[in-house]
Structure 1
Amino acid sequence: MKVLHVITSLAAGGAERQLAALLRHTDMPCEVATLTDTGREAGVAALGVPVHSLRMRGNRDVSAVGRLVTLMREGRYDVVHTHLYRACVYGRFAARLAGVPAIVATEHSLCTSHIEGRPKNASIRALYRASERVGHLTVAVSRAVADRLAEWGVRRVHVVPNGIDAAAFAFDPEARRARRAAYGIPADAFVIGGLGRLVRSKRFDVLLSALGGLPSAWLLLVGEGPARPILEALARYNGVADRVVITGEVPDVPAHLAAMDVLAAPAEEETFGLAVLEGLAAGLPVLHAACPSLDELPPGAAPGARRVAPGHTSFRAELCALAQSDPVRLPPPPAVAHYDIRRHVGALTSLYAHVLTRGPLPSYQPDLSGPLGPLGPLGSPEPP
């Protein structure tokens, strides 16, 4: 099977990191089309994957559909797999016009009130539904996302959780020393970490508030996004700017996790919780307000993770308690093994074959696959 992945951009968000991990571990011939050029294409191209940039001039640049159709016809792809809202809308219409045999979309970022930071409204929902009808299957990264899609009236849904390459996140003490030195963080400082797009919904302001009660602690925020100026201003207002490092996009997330002593994820709603899994793979204790990837596993699958009530008070208390203890590195828990990237790739490969040979999957049902255990099934297609 020859696959074209269509994604809005290759900026370093969770969906983009997930696509890069998939490309590293698949044996299928793949190419990538990006709607916008962000300068990150070289990282994927270095994997030996051809990258085509559509260079869209804005959200309403409908000429991109024609360019996608031409690319798809010339490439003679068996599967077009789209990622993120704009790519799903443009990519599914283009794939249908190009006559691609299998059209699959992954929904990474559908929350209760917004999709990729956009407030959910009638026009966004209508456009999403219209494009969904011309595709064959929508992949949800968690049961929580599948339930939200069902509420939107999307029926051809199958759950394939995100995957993680645990070996890539193994703790490296030299990387810890190097990253701390590069940012001027003392070797013995207690470092609170945050990982993800800098958007309001991630609630990284909670960590800035907590830092005010920890006079010797540092905050290392790994990511980029529109909320960065707000966070920088808040750090100055709280008098903690000299102990806050905001890295922007980085190519070496595991090395930055090595520099942390705890990963904190204060977002009140998530679609999967990839950063939490990455923190656990790096051996960090993790505090999280929401994490569907752990909620959908049996109790005890992630002993290093602790759910914290959303808000400033709860996270400040938990971080203060951790700061009083010695730094620890924990073995990756069963949850990390359950979400192994190779199982993710295998499940997607099976879905591609299913669509190509048997047509769309049955309607999504909330209880379609039963309880998931650390060694249980991972989103495999239903039997005929």
Structure 2
Amino acid sequence: MIRVLHVITGLEHGGAERQLALLLPHLPPTVACEVVSLTRAGTVGAEIAAGGVPVHELGMGGNRDLAALPRLVRLIRRGRYDVVHTHLYRACVYGRVAARLAGVGPRRSAPRIIATEHSLGDGHLEGRRTTRGVRALYLATERLGSLTIAVSPTVERRLHAWGVAPERVEVVPNAVDAAAFAFDPARRAATRAALGLAPDEPVVGAVGRLVPTKRFDLLVDALARPALAGARLLVVGDGPQRHALDRLAAARGFYGRAVLAGGTADVPGALAAMDVLAAPSVQETFVLGVLDGLAAGLPVLYTACPALDALPSGAAPGARRLPPAADADRWSAELARLLPSGARARAAVPPAVARHHAVADQAARLARLYAGEPAGGADRAPTTREVIPT
């Protein structure tokens, strides 16, 4: 039995949090996991605990709450874990230091301190601009660990550019549970009713943290154009840009047609309520929401998606890409073309999800890493994907 402690910054709604909750039940019985949230356990923590995985809440007050470090060290010592696996910047910094202080360290047979890098962008980390200090602390604590998992070849290349040695990085892409996103008309009707959306209204959707790099303001501008006059905008996620998006929608005369639903545990229900998924961000590390949308059978319009760029051509026939320079008029026109197809029927689950990102496969790769074996199976060769010309 391999005992693993997952250390994560928090367990509210978010991509990294959802990934952890998704993977834990699919790990083999030879891997026993516990989870510690540095801050609040939150709704995702409750979901994980309900599945039988012990969840600890450290109660950390902020990035500089150093009193949390000895508490984490004591937790690791008591648990006598074989592996400490960290997620997100704060947890990676504190988790690696605590694991070393608790006596967990590299060994020949298996990596003992593993980190997953979910959100390393080009000049951004977890939606925030990186500074010299952030980068220096990241690299200093990275050397305390054994291995960093990159969620895409794009993240792998960025880690190498930061100075992380190639032999210390392994690609294990994010996972999708296609069965969880299977379209259900009753779920669509219930979610629409709960959100105040009429059964037959065309709905453009988006999923993600409300930060400037996601460019959800571009969608507000696009939905305010005449081509989408009868459509509604549904944005699932929360973050510091929420009030700015509200103000922008009001300024565009679009306020009543924009639904900022906040974070939710029912992402499949939210996707069922949509007719097309839009992902206009030009700065991404994976874009799990795009794969979720494809799993739900939605047509997807996106700008950057490393998860698709690393796959063979034709793996995601329902996804179309607009160039970064495309403006609100272009987004409006392309979304108007896609809306009817999403409203009429749902597409089959594409190979991008079923073949390349199946949750059982990714969980098995993690388990191999915990046991000291190569993860295997990473998709590393980028391809040229269709771009809708300007």
Could you say whether these structures have the same fold, taking a TM-score greater than 0.5 normalized by the shorter chain as the test?
yes
Find the counterpart in structure 2 of residue 236 from structure 1: 250
Of residues 168, 171, 187, the one that matches 1:175 is 187
| Aligned 8 A contact 2:10 2:42 in 1 | no
How do 1:258-297 and structure 2 match up within 5 A?
258-297=272-311
| Aligned 8 A contact 2:9 2:37 in 1 | yes
324 and 330 in structure 1: CA distance in 2 versus 1, 3 angstrom threshold: closer
Task: Give secondary structure in 1 for the equivalent of 2:372.
Answer: helix
**1:78-120 CA-partner distances (Å, limit 9, x unpaired):** 1100000000000000001111250000000000011012211
Find the counterpart in structure 2 of residue 56 from structure 1: 60
234 and 20 in structure 1: CA distance in 2 versus 1, 3 angstrom threshold: same
Of residues 343, 347, 352, the one that matches 1:335 is 352
Q: What RMSD over aligned residues (CA atoms) do the two structures have, in Å?
A: 1.6
Query: Following the alignment from structure 1 to structure 2, what is the Cα–Cα distance between the partners of residues 55 and 89?
Result: 16
| Aligned 8 A contact 1:309 1:315 in 2 | no
TM-score calculated relative to the size of structure 2? 0.90
How do 1:167-206 and structure 2 match up within 5 A?
167-206=179-218
**CA apart distance, 1:323:** 3.6
**1:130-184 CA-partner distances (Å, limit 9, x unpaired):** 1101100000000100100001101111111011110000001001111111122
Task: Give secondary structure in 2 for the equivalent of 1:309.
Answer: coil
The residue type paired with residue 10 of structure 1 is L
| Aligned 8 A contact 2:14 2:209 in 1 | yes
Find the counterpart in structure 1 of residue 388 from structure 2: none
**CA apart distance, 1:293:** 0.6
Task: Give secondary structure in 2 for the equivalent of 1:179.
Answer: helix
**CA apart distance, 1:24:** 2.3
151 and 315 in structure 1: CA distance in 2 versus 1, 3 angstrom threshold: same
Aligned identity (percent) is: 58
Of residues 61, 70, 89, the one that matches 1:66 is 70
The residue type paired with residue 98 of structure 2 is A
Which deviates more from structure 2 when the two are superposed, residues 133-142 or residues 210-219? Answer: 210-219
| Runs of 5+ consecutive residues of structure 1 not aligned to the other structure | 356-360, 362-367, 374-384
Query: Following the alignment from structure 1 to structure 2, what is the Cα–Cα distance between the partners of residues 306 and 372?
Result: 16
| Runs of 5+ consecutive residues of structure 2 not aligned to the other structure | 106-111, 384-390
| Aligned 8 A contact 1:69 1:97 in 2 | yes
The residue type paired with residue 281 of structure 2 is A
Find the counterpart in structure 2 of residue 19 from structure 1: 20
The residue type paired with residue 322 of structure 1 is L
**1:244-278 CA-partner distances (Å, limit 9, x unpaired):** 11111112110110000000000012101100000
Of residues 290, 312, 321, the one that matches 2:337 is 321
The residue type paired with residue 364 of structure 2 is G
Q: Does 1:345 align with 2:363?
A: yes
Find the counterpart in structure 2 of residue 8 from structure 1: 9
Query: Following the alignment from structure 1 to structure 2, what is the Cα–Cα distance between the partners of residues 63 and 46?
Result: 29
351 and 16 in structure 1: CA distance in 2 versus 1, 3 angstrom threshold: same
| Aligned 8 A contact 1:164 1:336 in 2 | yes
The residue type paired with residue 320 of structure 1 is A
Query: Following the alignment from structure 2 to structure 1, what is the Cα–Cα distance between the partners of residues 308 and 339?
Result: 24
Of residues 161, 164, 174, the one that matches 1:151 is 161
Task: Give secondary structure in 2 for the equivalent of 1:104.
Answer: strand
Moved over 4 A (4+): none
Equivalent pairs, count: 362
| Aligned 8 A contact 1:105 1:139 in 2 | yes
